[in-house]
Structure 1
Amino acid sequence: MVKKNKIFILVVDFGTSKVKANLVDAEDGTFLTSCSRSYTIMTTAEGHTELELEQVWDSAVDCVRQVLGSVKEDGKIIALSFSYFGDNLILADENGDSLSQCILCFDSRGTDEAQYITEQLSEAKLVEVIGSPYSYMSTGAKILWMRRHMPDIFNKAKYFFSIQQYINRKLGLQAINDGTMAARKQLYDTGKGVWSRELLELIGIGEESLGEIKPTNTIIGEIDSFGPISLPYSIPVVLGGHDCDLGIVGLGVGSEENPVVADITGTYDHIGYLADGMINTKRTYPHGKIESYCGPLDNKSVCIGAFTTSGAVLEWFMREVNSDTSQDAYQFFWNHVVFDGNGTVCMCPDFSGNQGSFQGIGLGVGKNELFQSIIEALTFKTKEIIDDCERIKLGGINRVRIGGGAANSAEWIQLRANITGKIFEKMENIQVSALGTAIIAAYTMGIYGNISDAIQNMVSVSRVFLPDMEVHNKYNIIYKGIHSNK
């Protein structure tokens, strides 16, 4: 009997603070190997946060080099694809070479510009066009800031890239956007499927400076090298897209009618699902937390809400209060807290507007109680977004599938189930953005006839967490009390 060759998708997953290269089995979704490298988030001025592009690129090259060494003679990489963090800006010259470092979403320059854009177009108009109000996180606000405050660089810029386009150029390919990353620039009319003329005229740029838009599953070329690394053969490149949107696919949440949503955890906690057609949730539910834009699959919208400081709050506590960020330090707290709904300390975890606070602190309160209140508060925020999803989602919600860093903690998953009252499913592979990228690439390369078949073969649940309804009822009283005071 002839042994069947293994076929793999090589996925490079660019996160805000690290990059991972993953070799994914295109038939069953298992990861043969992974390699990650961290890079430094730089604070270049008050409120300015950037990534050094060459460090990001060199880290990716190093990861790919390590992963390629694990491919055996009986295996073949059939495609390379990517997932990317969203809401970022890189200015580039006429040759596509960078003029700036990568400006991150939570860089606060552009605050005044976002207000100006809103005043000129109105919040209602912005919701109609891009599906959300404008904020300093928006790419357009940062471009306008550069025009006003750094004209020497702005006037040299021919292009306004995202990290997706920058990586495409580094590989010698065309600097194309996929629909999800185009939408994250918040200059894209998601209803019409084109760059917004009104926004571009207001900011003072042309659509040619933003680049062409293609579907996430587009094959944009073939490469025989990854920077200085010679590949063993020419490999097709599938465009890829925004990491959170691909994470929804990697969690197997492909149909709005199924009573399940995705929870992609990390620095941001994203919760959402895919809906049929192009819809605008902010227009229908203006006070809800769910936004929508074009998804990574044909004729699908991403409907998603995010709690922007989720992982950052926990990192702050471990760094500034506990002075120890080691894994052992984290585990110590998990071993010494009890999530039974009887805690007395409450926390407001919204650090993004300097609104974070603790209530119920007494002389007997120590780090354990503070840690517990942080985890509970972050989980209450998760419940808020799930509740908003449930108000608008066809098919309702009775299950939540979880991936990302928080999925490593069984205790936290159980708390999520207890606080929300929903069944939580931990996935066999919690690197869901990379898996979703591989699923789309496998379908694109013809391994599966449709996305549903790819999900069925490549996604699996490893453990189910049922809510303890007695504990849920206790937390529900606390939750209602918090919201009644808002």
Structure 2
Amino acid sequence: MGKQACYLAVDFGTSNVHVTLIDQQTAEAVAGANKKYRWYTPAADQIELDADEMWTASEEAVADAIRRGGTGISVAAMTFSFFGDNITPVDGNGNALYKMLPGFCGRSHREVETIDREIGADRYGDITGNTLTTLSSASKILWLRRNRPEIFAQAKAFYTNQQYVMHKLGFGDIQDRTMAARKLAYDVKEDKWSAPILDVCGMAEEQLGRDIVESQTVVGKVRHYGRVDLGGMVPVTIGCHDVSASLLAAGVKTDKIETLGVLMGTYEQIGYFSDKFITGCNDFGDSLIFSCCYNSPFKGKYTVMDAFPTAGAMLEWYCKNLLMNPKADIGEMIAKADLQKESRLFVLPYMENYHGAVVGMSLATTLDDIFAALLRSLAYQFIACIDYIKGTADGIFCNIHFGGGGSRSDKLIELRADLLNARVGRMRNIELPSLGSCILASLGNGWSKTVEEAQSQVRNGVLYFEPNDANGKRQRASYETYKKLSADYLRNH
């Protein structure tokens, strides 16, 4: 009897790397492993990660997943998904010179002002498809130039996490188009690095990388993942940005408007694929929605995305700083939370921009009350994203499909269905970035000829949730109060 052929999917999240062995025939998860890595906070507005720690964590997770898979499996292909908006300066040998600067690090406010002054926020948005904020890796590179000139001078390149991993595997500084676009110095319509942004930041094209390929590209074969023996020569698909991969796994079509995909994690991200560039990035307005339009895994198409930057991160913040228990079981806490209780307590979860607030507390307010209000506020932010993204599409979305770690809770999905007053679905396999990267591997290795065929082969069923009318009316009334409170607060702070 032959061995069970599996994809080895490696998904780099903002705080964990998830490695999953996925059966090539059934798309079922065979075995998996997670490894955490640290966030460093050298100053109040600074967050850093360590590229080498991420690599080591991925080695350990790959080793654990293969060990758990047992001797009866064989790795047919390795494939990847990556969180975007990050940069690591490296020397000529690809070694990190400084910590990784992620998009959610807010240190580059002055550099954003410089880019705004020299290029203009509207023009920047038209070039990159992105609102001009500290998410921009270009602004982080300019920060290094000004504040760590010795690092900037030594930097031969500025790698994304994708490039760092590809270099570790022996493939140089290669990157796919989605991750190049997420450096936010890329002209997404012209499909090249933006000369005006390069000039302002003092960068050269060579430092950002000229070897840009399609997301399904098989970049080569490896026998080892670092120190881990894979048991044979394995083809490596470069993969893409985690949101684009998630949309594929959520059943979002590349040829028509039909389904919205939702990835619930550190960010709550909502999106679809478009044949045209969507102008008019949201400027954070009254609800601090982050929206963008950037290159999809498929040439000539775009990923249109809305996101709320501190969704899952807010739950971790609550456990660490209010509950004083960073290891608390968030799933158990959600299960116990009373989300239907009448309450005048609201959380404005805008922590990334120093606008976070808890409003409506009394001497009787408990931590449980705050946690429930926080969960409701994240659902309200989701609805704000839905309201915005619907206005960017020519067609009508018939389905909304959820995945990601935050979607495990029936209660959170039901709350969103109630607020929408519409049926919503949760994918059977919620590890959307990993499953989406397998779809790309199927295409890249020639096991399927079209995106639709690959989605069919790497199938993912849907469990649907119906709205509760009474709960929905009460929650929608609360949402209207939240919107007014949020708008008034943001105008004055």
Q: TM-score interval w.r.t. the shorter chain?
A: over 0.9
Question: Counterparts in 2 of 1:386-425, with a 5 A limit?
Answer: 386-425=386-425
Question: Partner residue of 1:219?
Answer: 218
Report Cα offsets for 1:163-199 as digits up to 9, x if no partner: 1111111111121121111111001000000011111
Cα contact 2:244–2:303 (8 A) shared by 1: yes
Q: Please list the CA deviations of residues 313-354 of structure 1 after superposition, one character each: whole Å capped at 9, or x if unmatched.
A: 2222222222334455652453251426x3222221111222
Distance 1:460 1:265, change over 3 A: same
Matches within 5 A, 1:2-401: 6-71=4-69, 75-211=73-209, 212-255=211-254, 257-276=256-275, 278-282=276-280, 289-328=290-329, 330-332=331-333, 334-339=335-340, 342-401=342-401
- Which whole-Å CA distance do the structure 1 matches of 2:282 and 2:104 have between them? 27
Superposition deviation, residue 431 in structure 1: 0.6
From the superposition, tell whether residues 246 and 132 of structure 1 become closer, same or farther in structure 2 (CA, over 3 Å): same
Helix, strand or coil at the partner of 1:290: strand
Q: Does structure 2 conserve the Cα–Cα contact (< 8 Å) formed by 1:339 and 1:372?
A: no
- Contact conserved, 2:31 with 2:66, CA < 8 A, in 1? no
* 1:171 to 1:336, Cα distance in 2 relative to 1, 3 A: closer
What SS does structure 1 have at the residue aligned with 2:151? Answer: helix
Call closer, same or farther: CA 1:293–1:337 in 2, change over 3 Å.
same
Larger deviation, residues 244-253 vs 43-52: 43-52
Greater displacement, 222-231 / 407-416: 222-231
| Greater CA drift, 66-75 or 257-266 | 66-75
Farther off after superposition, 322-331 or 443-452:
322-331
Distance (whole Å) between structure 1 residues aligned to residue 9 and residue 89 of structure 2: 26
What's the CA shift for 1:47?
A: 2.4
Partner residue in 2 for 1:449? 449
Paired AA for residue 268 in structure 2: D
Give SS of 2:269's match: strand
Please say if residues 131 and 281 of structure 2, whose CA atoms lie closer than 8 Å, have aligned partners that are also in contact: no
Residue of structure 1 equivalent to 2:490: none
Q: Aligned equivalents of 2:316 and 2:95: distance in 1?
A: 35
Structure 1 segments unaligned to the other structure (5+ residues): none
The amino acid across from 2:83 in the alignment is F
Cα separation, 2, equivalents of 1:94 and 1:87: 22
SS in 1 for 2:261: strand
SS state of the match for residue 69, structure 1?
helix
- Counterpart CA distance in 2 for 1:88 and 1:349 is 23
User: Per the alignment, do residues 284 and 334 of structure 1 end up closer, same or farther by CA in structure 2, a change over 3 Å counting?
Assistant: closer
User: 1:96, 1:169 within 8 Å by CA — same for their partners in 2?
Assistant: yes
RMSD: 2.1
C-alpha spacing 1:319/1:71, structure 2 compared with 1 (3 Å)? closer
What SS does the aligned partner of 1:22 have? strand
Q: Aligned partner of 2:430: which letter?
A: I
CA deviation after TM superposition for structure 1 residue 135, in Å:
1.4
Q: What letter corresponds to residue 163 of structure 2 in structure 1?
A: Q
> What TM-score comes out, normalization by structure 1 length?
0.94
CA distance in 1, matches of 2:470, 2:201: 54
Structure 2 contact 282–290 (Cα < 8 Å) conserved: no
Secondary structure, in 3 states, of the residue corresponding to 2:449?
coil
Q: What's the counterpart of residue 475 of structure 1?
A: 475
1:35 touches 1:66 (CA, 8 Å); kept in 2?
Answer: yes
CA contact (8 A) 1:281 1:303 kept: no
Bigger shift: residues 317-326 or 147-156: 317-326
Amino acid at match of 2:244: D
Counterpart AA for 2:324: S
Cα deviation, 1:391-438, whole Å, max 9, x if unaligned, reads 122332342111111111111110111112232211111110011001
**One-letter code of the match for 1:337?**
D
Give the direction of change, closer, same or farther, for the CA distance of 1:285–1:311 in structure 2 (3 Å limit).
closer
Identity of aligned residues (%): 27
Q: SS of the residue aligned with 2:154?
A: coil
Matched to 2:370, the amino acid is L
Aligned length: 482
The two structures have a TM-score, normalised by structure 2, of: 0.92
Q: For residues 92 and 248 of structure 1, what CA distance do their matches in structure 2 show?
A: 31
Residue type of the partner of 1:239?
A: I
For residues 404 and 377 of structure 2, the distance between their equivalents in structure 1, rounded to whole angstroms, comes to: 19
Change (3 A) 1:11 1:328: closer
Distance 1:281 1:459, change over 3 A: farther
Amino acid at match of 1:425: G
Unmatched 5+ stretches in structure 2: 488-493
Deviations 1:181-218 (A, max 9, x none): 11110010000000111111121111011112111111
Q: Distance in 2 between matches of 1:256 and 1:94?
A: 42
Deviations, residues 115-169 of structure 1 (Å, cap 9, x unaligned): 1011101112111111123211211111111111111111111111111111111
> Could you say if the C-alpha distance between residues 229 and 55 of structure 1 is closer, same or farther in structure 2, counting changes exceeding 3 Å?
same
